[in-house]
Chains A and B, each alone.
Chain A
Amino acid sequence: MIALHNLKKAWRGKPALHGLSFEVRKGEVFGLLGHNGAGKSTTLGILLGQVFPDGGEALIGGVSVQRERARALAKTGAIFEAPRFYDYLSGWRNLEIYTSYSARVPRAQIAEAVETVGLTARIQDKVGTYSQGMRQRLGLAQALLPANEVILLDEPTNGLDPEGIHEMRLLIKKLNHERGLTVVFCSHLLVEVEQLCDHVVILNQGRKIFDGRWAELATDRRQVRLEVDDWPRAAALLSESAGVSVVEPGVIALEEKCATADLVARLVGGGVRVSAVEPQRRNLEQIYLALTHNGAAPQA
């Protein structure tokens, strides 16, 4: 559905993308993960034809964004971290204005999109009176219109409270399941991408350092935090076990073949009292470090 081939872009001589390539399949929820400045927004900008690449090409539905932008984006919608609207106009009027740049959209279709995002009751109110969550939902409604099949979401949960984040996540999942939408989800928050996406590309300083299923990344090296009464003794016992390595005192990394329960049994059998075993979520930084230091070579 979406293919990026060898995209290159530099801002004022400073490279932002180093020959980035990846593909997104139809109906997939795809995560583009990376710290601020990793190149996510530049990638999205190129996909939308708002940023001209120095090299390479982006295709949506097999059509080049750089050569036939209007045709490539005919079924594509997008929202940015803070969707911008004309605050002095109603939500409905905003939708009419934005969608007029795509096609003539029937009122019933706009109403359906508004219903989908749960804004019907407030759609005639001025956007200036909307909360951040309502703005995001309005942004999503405009991204759905008119009958888009691909939506690009750049940090769509920025500025939302936990409830708003949860609602947005559910909404994206629902749209993906019910309408078969292809979703490209950009974020710097690991947990968001983890909960939404099955296919992930991780960017670091404009380079792709991971491209694969989320499960591959998650099960690559599990980490577990242990609370024991005698860490040196526990470390000595763990070092004898295959597939286990000590990350730092109290934290170990396990290969897929290792079962946590077996390790705990070994520690207890060796006379170590185990008071807590807690699976660790690695943050983006740790994943970067793991990927760059453990042989997962940056992929161009």
Chain B
Amino acid sequence: MSLFLLQLRGELWKLFARKRTYIGFGVFLGVETLFLVLCQIPFGQRGLRRLVEQYGGVFEQYFSGLTVAMIMLTMTLFFLGALFLGLVGGDLIAKEVEDGTMRMTLCRPVSRLRVLRVKYATCVIYTFTLVIFVGLSALGAAMLMRGAGGLFLVIMHEKLPVFYDFGPGLVRYLASLLFFALSLLTIATFSFTLSCCNMKPATATISAVALFFVDWIVFFFPILEAYRPWTMHQYMSTWLNVFRNPLPWPQMLEDYGYLIGLDATFFVIGAIIFSTRDFKS
């Protein structure tokens, strides 16, 4: 095992041995359970029924495990996910500085950039783990409750309905998890960058989440449509393109190229700040 992997293993031990890391997982399970219960009530089904029928679908065919899982995924992860990724991203550096463990690490003959690289790799792994966990647990629970069936969703900001049979729908759903994680990585990276500054972990988290929501408001509200191309959500929402047929690869490559560039920029800014600051109790 290379030294980088050895260090990464240590960072993952730290992250996944901590109780607060699992708060996110636990909250998602709770929200999913609540959502499933609400879906069983006719009143809770009314909105979805209206939407499916409005776009010409048969409600009974598309009120399936896949559709319910998809709704849970988008509703919970987009908002709660941002919060928890902001929390973990903000903790990775700032919490260690606050606790004094960063100074212990920086006693070692290791460059600060290496420390950041290892921690950022941890951040990426956590982001993908969280999204995949939420996606699979939502799918498992929804399938148990509603069984197999077609997938229905509406790409909201374009008002674009999407219908799939179970097989292709499942493939698209599973693929979307990876793209969704890649989109959400931007918010985790931004929080990580703030955490490299001389600030409390909570400040880094709150600032990152606040930016996320301001960005979402600008993106979503029609009155601010002129500013939409300048928002991160314009590019982050490209994960929904996985459900288009055919897949708009050029568009997705462009959008993910932009997001990865943004992540790289955030990382470089964080690295410059982290590498030039003094650490002293």
Does B281 count as interface, using CB distance less than 8 angstroms? yes
Contact partners of A85 in chain B: CB under 8 A: 101, 104
Does A267 count as interface, using CB distance less than 8 angstroms? no
Known contacts A41-B281, A51-B280: A73-B19 contact under CB 8 Å: no
Contact among A45, A70, A89 with B110 in the assembled complex (CB-CB below 8 Å): A70
A163 to chain B, nearest CB (A): 25
Look across to chain A and name the residue whose beta carbon is closest to the beta carbon of B104. Answer: A84
How many chain-B residues does the 8 Å CB contact rule pick out?
A: 30
Contact partners of A78 in chain B: CB under 8 A: 107
Does B237 count as interface, using CB distance less than 8 angstroms? no
Contact among A50, A72, A77, A101 with B103 in the assembled complex (CB-CB below 8 Å): A50
Does A100 count as interface, using CB distance less than 8 angstroms? yes
A194 to chain B, nearest CB (A): 25
Contact partners of B250 in chain A: CB under 8 A: none
**A interface bracket (residues with beta carbon within 8 Å of B):** 35 or more
| Bound Cα distance from A74 to B108, whole angstroms | 8
Q: Would you call A80 and B100 a contact (CB within 8 A)?
A: yes
Q: Would you call A77 and B18 a contact (CB within 8 A)?
A: no
| Bound Cα distance from A50 to B106, whole angstroms | 7
Q: Would you call B104 and A100 a contact (CB within 8 A)?
A: no
Look across to chain B and name the residue whose beta carbon is closest to the beta carbon of A75. Answer: B109
Known contacts A52-B276, A101-B7, A102-B108: A84-B13 contact under CB 8 Å: no
Known contacts A71-B109, A82-B100: A100-B6 contact under CB 8 Å: yes
Does A104 count as interface, using CB distance less than 8 angstroms? yes
Q: Would you call B100 and A89 a contact (CB within 8 A)?
A: no
Look across to chain B and name the residue whose beta carbon is closest to the beta carbon of A142. Answer: B104
Q: Would you call B278 and A101 a contact (CB within 8 A)?
A: no
A49 to chain B, nearest CB (A): 7
Contact partners of A173 in chain B: CB under 8 A: none
| Bound Cα distance from A99 to B11, whole angstroms | 12
Does A21 count as interface, using CB distance less than 8 angstroms? no
Contact partners of A221 in chain B: CB under 8 A: none
Q: Would you call A76 and B109 a contact (CB within 8 A)?
A: yes
| Bound Cα distance from A100 to B9, whole angstroms | 9
Contact partners of B14 in chain A: CB under 8 A: 86, 89, 97
Look across to chain B and name the residue whose beta carbon is closest to the beta carbon of A101. Answer: B108
| Bound Cα distance from A11 to B279, whole angstroms | 12
Does B115 count as interface, using CB distance less than 8 angstroms? yes
| Bound Cα distance from A143 to B17, whole angstroms | 24
Does B245 count as interface, using CB distance less than 8 angstroms? no
Contact partners of A96 in chain B: CB under 8 A: 10
B20 to chain A, nearest CB (A): 10
Contact among B18, B100, B280 with A84 in the assembled complex (CB-CB below 8 Å): B100
Contact among B17, B101, B280 with A50 in the assembled complex (CB-CB below 8 Å): B280
Known contacts A89-B14, A97-B13: A80-B281 contact under CB 8 Å: yes
Q: Would you call B105 and A89 a contact (CB within 8 A)?
A: no
Q: Would you call A102 and B110 a contact (CB within 8 A)?
A: yes
Look across to chain A and name the residue whose beta carbon is closest to the beta carbon of B2. Answer: A104
Contact among B99, B109, B279 with A102 in the assembled complex (CB-CB below 8 Å): B109
Does B224 count as interface, using CB distance less than 8 angstroms? no
Does B3 count as interface, using CB distance less than 8 angstroms? yes
Look across to chain A and name the residue whose beta carbon is closest to the beta carbon of B3. Answer: A104
Q: Would you call B109 and A51 a contact (CB within 8 A)?
A: no
| Bound Cα distance from A104 to B1, whole angstroms | 9
| Bound Cα distance from A78 to B279, whole angstroms | 14
Q: Would you call B103 and A89 a contact (CB within 8 A)?
A: no
| Bound Cα distance from A78 to B108, whole angstroms | 9
Contact partners of B17 in chain A: CB under 8 A: 86, 88-89, 93
Contact partners of B3 in chain A: CB under 8 A: 100, 103-104
Q: Please, could you name 24 A-B residue pairs with CB atoms under 8 Å apart, sorted by A?
A: A41-B281, A50-B278, A50-B280, A51-B278, A51-B279, A70-B109, A73-B107, A73-B108, A73-B109, A82-B100, A83-B104, A84-B100, A88-B17, A88-B18, A89-B13, A89-B17, A97-B10, A98-B104, A100-B3, A100-B6, A101-B105, A101-B114, A104-B6, A152-B107
Give residues in A with beta carbon < 8 Å to B: 41-42, 45, 48-52, 69-74, 76-78, 80-86, 88-89, 93, 96-104, 142-143, 152
5 more CB-based (< 8 A) A-B contacts, given A69-B111, A72-B109, A88-B17: A41-B280, A50-B280, A69-B109, A81-B281, A104-B6
Give residues in B with beta carbon < 8 Å to A: 3, 6-7, 9-11, 13-14, 17-19, 99-101, 103-111, 114-115, 276, 278-281
